[in-house]
Chain A
Amino acid sequence: MKFAVLVFPGSNCDIDMYHAIKDELGEEVEYVWHTETDLSSFDGILVPGGFSYGDYLRCGAMANQSNIMAEVKKAADAGKPVLGVCNGFQILTEAGLLPGALLRNKNLKFMCRTIQLKVENNNTLFTNQYEQGQVINIPIAHGEGNYYCDGETLQKLKDNNQIVFTYSGENPNGSLADIAGIINERGNVLGMMPHPERAVDALVGGADGLAVFKSIVKQWRENHVNN
């Protein structure tokens, strides 16, 4: 399986993403600069964290205007897996690929530490390697991760099982309904604030995030064997 890791000016988790795929999973991966105009040769798209365009105007707003985002929308429409982490999640909401928005953390602090996440839905192409209800340890690192959407959208997210991860025990940022990660209706675009790519090696702080990437690959392999 061949992954693209998008790189914007100010991305800073792109190398961790690349490492997770290349070194931990042994799959193919390439960096793709935001000015590129073709993602058709890739099977999965990873939108990494960081501070694209210095978070000017709103986090993710400027990145959403770059060339590559039209291609990300095409990939999402084609049913390819698209994963946005942290700033990547913010970019995907700005792009309208996921509902809602990420607001300033309720306590106004930038928080960088490991928290507990609950897997609310393991029946997705991003979470099939977790148990339903499993609690995992994943780092967060954000100042604007406070998920918000209107009541109607929240009901829809609940009804369709689109809430994939919630904060377990403590809600670090004030997110609505403790939401840490959501998926689109079709099930091929996931956005999450915590960083699974920073938890892929037990030697450096835990490997609970690896299953996100393993899930994507497993699902892809199954689809491509069956077809």
Chain B
Amino acid sequence: MKKVKIFVTLRESILDPQGSAVQGSLAKMGYGEVEELRIGKYLELTISDSARDIDTLVKEMCEKVLTNVVIEDYRYEVEEAN
């Protein structure tokens, strides 16, 4: 079994109004050091062992449905799971 952790973020070129709003709140609370805040998504998948290559599988799922490559970037980590 594998545990796959996928991090999805808006592409750099795209404004994140939600992130800006939260950053604004932090600034009001006295955390003016925060220069930028961007909000993304975290997906955790538990995947059973199979003949299919795990990287191919994860990339395929990410590009077909889990992310929208027009607006989002992703990266992932694979761990052994019990």
Please classify the interface of chain B as helix (H, G, I), strand (E, B), loop, or mixed, using the class held by over half of its residues: loop
Interface residues of B in 26-82 (CB under 8 A from A): 65-66, 68, 70-71
Check B66–A148 contact: CB distance below 8 A. no
B1 contacts partner chain A, Cβ-Cβ < 8 Å: no
Check B17–A106 contact: CB distance below 8 A. yes
A65 to B70, CA, bound (A): 17
Q: Which of A64, A103, A149 is the most central at the interface, judged by chain B CB atoms within 10 Å of its CB? A: A103
- Nearest residue in A to B41 (C-beta to C-beta)? A57
Q: CB < 8 Å: which of A61, A99, A108, A148 contacts B14?
A: A148
| B-side contacts of A58, CB under 8 Å | 68
Check B71–A148 contact: CB distance below 8 A. yes
A148 to B17, CA, bound (A): 14
Check A108–B21 contact: CB distance below 8 A. yes
A94 to B17, CA, bound (A): 21
A64 to B21, CA, bound (A): 30
| A-side contacts of B21, CB under 8 Å | 108
Least distance between A90 CB and chain B CB atoms (Å): 10
Interface residues of A in 43-68 (CB under 8 A from B): 57-58, 61, 64-65
Render A94-128 as a binary contact track against B, CB cut-off 8 A, 1 for contact: 10000111011111100000000000000000000
